[in-house]
């Protein structure tokens, strides 16, 4: 099987890479490995949705894969998720894609939630994109056909948002929670899913919870534990694929 692994940073997949054997270069930002009986291309896209979408699109246009995996850490809004736990993000959205209109104070809020006093209209509410205009389904990017396998099936399936600015203030956290009810957030996930859906590429977005989404407090993060668990889970996915 030929597999594409996508991560924003090499650090997030360090434990996994230690278990694979490098065989050469595969293109810009891509390195080729073998492991667990598979040919594995590792794409380190860089942080953020623009870099992820661009490099994923290039990789998927250049080669065809049996499976694409996005691996990384995430922050959790859902407090029933424990730090270090690994989740399968089955739907995602660009939560900042839209427009501000008026203010909550002037009664023009369109969705009952506002950040810094401004009402927010999604790109669908603006009429610029249909709710079910491909690759969207109900305004979200949804993995309708995730890869089969016990490891993925046993992971908690969650809804995510993808952001340019991670949330770290009570007001903005309350607004996005009211607006979309996300369980996790990342800076790359929806961009990866968008590219895979456009290319008809089987995929899964797998993330480990490194922190809760709250007032920024790095001392409370469990980043090392999350990366360790992410690597162990990814190896199990490769082994059963």
Report domain extents, the chain. Answer: 2-95+136-166+182-240
- Please say if the pLDDT value at position 55 is more than 50: yes
- pLDDT at residue 106 is higher than 90: no
Q: What is the pLDDT of residues 75-105, one digit of tens each?
A: 999 999 999 999 999 999 999 999 988 764 4
The span from the CA of 188 to the CA of 193, in Å, is 9
Each residue of 147-201: pLDDT tens digit?
999 999 999 999 999 999 999 999 999 999 999 999 999 999 999 999 999 999 9
Residue 103: what pLDDT? 60
Q: What is the reported pLDDT for 118?
A: 64
> pLDDT tens for residues 62-76?
999 999 999 999 999
Determine the pLDDT at residue 110: 39
At the fourth CATH level, which superfamily is domain 2-95+136-166+182-240? Nucleoside phosphorylase domain (3.40.50.1580)
Dihedral over Cα of 162, 165, 167, 171: its sign: negative
123 pLDDT band (50/70/90 cuts)?
very high
Residues 6+ apart with CB under 8 A from 36: 19, 235, 238, 239, 241
Whole-prediction pTM = 0.91
- How does pLDDT run across 186-232, given as a tens digit for each residue? 999 999 999 999 999 999 999 999 999 999 888 999 999 999 999 99
């Amino acid at each position: 099987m030929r597999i594409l692994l996508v991560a924003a940073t090499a650090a997030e997949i360090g434990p996994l890479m230690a278990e694979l054997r490098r065989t050469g270069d595969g293109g810009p930002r891509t390195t080729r490995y073998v492991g667990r009986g598979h040919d594995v291309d590792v794409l380190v896209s860089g942080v953020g949705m623009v870099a992820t979408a661009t490099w994923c699109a290039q990789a998927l246009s250049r080669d065809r894969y049996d499976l694409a995996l996005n691996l990384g850490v995430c922050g959790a809004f859902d407090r029933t998720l424990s730090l270090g736990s690994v989740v399968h993000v089955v739907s995602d959205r660009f939560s900042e894609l839209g427009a501000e209109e008026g203010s909550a104070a002037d009664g023009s809020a369109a969705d009952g939630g506002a950040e810094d006093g401004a009402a927010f209209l999604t790109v669908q509410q603006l009429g610029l994109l249909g709710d079910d205009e491909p690759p969207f389904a109900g305004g979200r990017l949804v993995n309708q056909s995730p890869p089969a396998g016990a490891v993925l099936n046993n992971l908690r399936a969650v809804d995510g948002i993808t952001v340019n600015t991670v949330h770290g203030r009570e007001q903005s956290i309350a607004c996005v929670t009211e607006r979309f009810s996300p369980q996790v957030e990342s800076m790359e996930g929806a961009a990866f899913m968008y590219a895979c859906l456009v290319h008809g590429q089987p995929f899964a977005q797998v993330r480990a919870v490194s922190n809760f989404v709250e007032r920024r407090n790095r001392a409370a993060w469990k980043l090392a534990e999350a990366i360790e668990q992410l690597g162990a889970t990814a190896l199990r996915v490769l082994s059963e694929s």
